[in-house]
Structure 1
Amino acid sequence: MNSGSKNELCDLFERFYQKYHHAYVPNYPEFKRLYTLVTQARKHPHRLSEFEKHCLDRRNFDWKAGNRFSRWMFNYSALKQFFEEHGHSDLPEDYPINQRLGSWAYRQRGQKDKLSPQQVAMLDDLNFTWIDSVDGPRSPNLQRRWEGMYKRLSQYKAEHGHVLVPSTYSDTQLAQWVFRQRKFADRLSSEQVDRLESLGFVFDMQLQKDLTWEYNYQQLTQFYHEHGHSRVPQTYPNRRLADWVRSQRAQRVKLTKDKLDKLSKVDFAFNSNLKSLRDQQWMDNFRQVEAFYKEHGNLSITHDKRLYRWIYKQKAKRPKEEYRRVLLRQLDIHHEG
């Protein structure tokens, strides 16, 4: 390490300690540079100066800790702080102040048998609530939290007619909660499973994906009948459908024959033939503008906002294709950039 990196190591490490009150630097994006420096320090301690060793040792730096243990200790320290402030460790899995900590605590609850005796004892010191059996005890805080989210899911069904909450749903807490109910179904009580199934909740991951696909396909079919094509733009109000269409275009090889057959019924275009389709769309717009120009001698197409915007776009951004530029000049449409 050069003198600059030596000072950088001690400065960054001291700042980290002052903020978090421990020396376990995890490999998280916000600590990328510091994590790199402490990793190098562990691998090559002989390259450190006495000053560097001192600044690490004075904060009880663990020279043998790996990233996995450092991550665990970093989150445990945050949970301990939560416990000291609130008197319990039952923070929700989507804890808004620190979502990473909420997710970490939720994972710990169901893997008591995978933790070391020391880790279990440390969590027990915080009155940690374990979920190690389907009908095991749950703290009042966690139960209230589950009831609140279940109510939100019931309201979602009342509004949408189903419980296929997409990952892109505006209520991100509900979307994440639904995903976790399916992923960690073995942690739910039999009563919770029954109540979710009474709403039509599907626990089978593959079946859920197939049902979601069918739901989106029905939305696309409706769009096709209304607009005469299946080219859902990214600016379409139903962003979920627009995103789904884009994802289907990119994964043709992953779709089953049945799904490909269904998409063909709505003239669906994949990425491989999307360019030719766009060329066709451009020519269709041009022919409509050309017809108006020949009839009226001008381009004041105020009755059709879509064509009006198309003309404006051609003026604002010069087409790369030579044939397009030639055709546009015939209608006195020139690039104004």
Structure 2
Amino acid sequence: IQFAWNYGRDAAEEQWQSRYQELVEYKNQYGDCNVPQGFADNPQLAIWVVTQRMNYKQKKNKLMEDYPDRIEALERIGFQWQLQARTMTKRVSWEGRYQQLQAYRDQFGDCNVPYSYNGNGNSANGLGVWVSVQRQHYKVCQNSRDDDDAEDNFSSKAKKCIMTRDRIAALEAIDFSWESPRTKSRISWEQRYQDLSKFCGVHGHCNVPRNYEKDPSLGRWVHLQREQYRKLERGEKSTLTSERIKVMEKIGFHWRVVDAKNRAEAKSNSLAV
């Protein structure tokens, strides 16, 4: 027989590597390796992270001698061996990121957050990474889910699938695209306004269809401006300023679709007389 003398050591190494990969996935989602104690999505990972820090503190020299590759692997992904207490409480939930994405959409007209987006240094830092991870989770879930497996599990690896049907529905409700457009820069509000102005000059009105084939994002942007205007009317926070409203109305933009249709019909009737 072939007796495996290193079975225990190999099994321990395999388990360590498995937890390490979970930590890599955690960092991809949250932007750091600071798994809080009692982390609901993966309590065992939180315990494992604490164990790594305790072992390093108590047996640093031995670890560096026996497992230098582990230390190197952890430090390569930004693992911190010692944390301030307040560091552990700084965590943005999925719902918090979703709200940041909504705010981004309100500002730019779409959900195509660049990977390197830093949110101007505010709490939205890492939003681009989060968006990329949502697309990755969606693809993995779609590829690994089978008919017998419920909506929340990776069937192939028996791991919890973060991308549930409720989250998919919430993202699609704000026109989230599961395919990355690989955009490197954002189109400013002013540039979109110029695009709309050109459309008005060609067509004689500003009623860009939401599914405008020549420029779908312009149609979505126009729809978004009307959404922002309704927010103003309700007294809610909006990206529309008085100056933006003024220049939009200057080129004949109507804030309600029904008003735009009535104006177009009236113009058509006057020409027919």
TM-score between the two structures when normalised by the length of structure 2: 0.30
Larger helix percent: 1
TM-score between the two structures when normalised by the length of structure 1: 0.25
User: Which of these two proteins has the greater Rg computed from alpha carbons?
Assistant: 1
Q: Per chain length, whose mean CA-contact separation is higher, i.e. which structure has more relative contact order (CA < 8 Å, sep 6+)?
A: 2
